[in-house]
């Protein structure tokens, strides 16, 4: 897909890999970016850096359908389409199964990692795919592209990474069925 003037939705877009992706896509590819992140100060600063004509920040909780719906509406209002989704938001919160005293880890801590790193990917992917399916196909028949960021920890997690590794393995396991399902509309 040619990215010049195309609209990319990037989760975790105000820091780390998401922010680096946004910078590259705007400066090297001429794309427009929507930064979905919780950090308002970093998101606003990144939009200032990239230029308001090229970027929008939406303070977004990827685990909330309502939050994603509000962000998608703002993106569609500003840019009129979504052509690519990069799901880079993630939390590497350590979560040992047993603590130093031999007590079981908090399920809430484990669930927070799974909710952001796996369910958040599904949530944003589904909402973006819905908009991409409405796009007219380009010369190659593409309407959109989705990139779900995983990690080597999906295969080789370290001590204390049960939640993080499990969430990233889940992303890997979701990608092929998603590609098969969305193939007629979107590349995953």
| pTM of model > 0.85 | yes
Confidence of residue 62 (pLDDT cuts 50, 70, 90): very high
Separation between Cα atoms, residue 89 and residue 173, nearest integer Å: 18
d(CA 32, CA 74): 14
Rounded to whole angstroms, the Cα distance separating 115 from 109 reads 10
- Residue pLDDT, tens place only, 27-42: 999 999 999 999 999 9
Reply yes or no on whether the pLDDT at 159 is more than 70.
Answer: yes
Residue 188 confidence (pLDDT) = 63
Q: Are 13 and 39 in contact (CB under 8 A)?
A: no
Domains and CATH numbers, the chain: 7-182 (3.40.50.720)
24 counts as catalytic: no
Mean pLDDT of 64-82: 98
pLDDT of residue 1: 81
- The model's pLDDT over 50-59, given as tens digits with 9 standing for 90+, comes to 999 999 999 9
Q: Which two tokens stand for residue 55?
A: 């970027």
């Amino acid at each position: 897909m040619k990215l010049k003037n195309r609209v990319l939705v990037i989760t975790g877009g105000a820091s780390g890999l998401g922010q680096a992706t946004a910078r590259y896509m705007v400066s090297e590819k001429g794309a427009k970016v929507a930064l979905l992140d919780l950090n308002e100060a970093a998101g606003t600063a990144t939009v200032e850096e990239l230029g308001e004509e090229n970027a929008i920040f939406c303070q977004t909780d990827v685990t909330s359908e309502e939050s994603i719906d509000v962000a998608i509406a703002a993106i569609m209002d500003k840019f009129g389409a979504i052509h690519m989704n990069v799901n880079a938001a993630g939390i590497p919160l350590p979560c040992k199964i047993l603590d130093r005293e031999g007590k079981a880890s908090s399920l809430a801590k484990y669930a927070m990692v799974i909710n952001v790193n796996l369910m958040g990917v599904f949530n944003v992917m589904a909402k973006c795919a819905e908009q991409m399916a409405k796009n007219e196909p380009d010369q190659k028949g593409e309407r959109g592209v989705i990139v779900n960021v995983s990690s080597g920890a999906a295969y080789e997690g370290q001590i204390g990474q049960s939640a993080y590794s499990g969430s990233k393995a889940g992303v890997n396991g979701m990608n092929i069925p998603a590609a098969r399902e969305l193939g007629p509309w979107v590349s995953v």
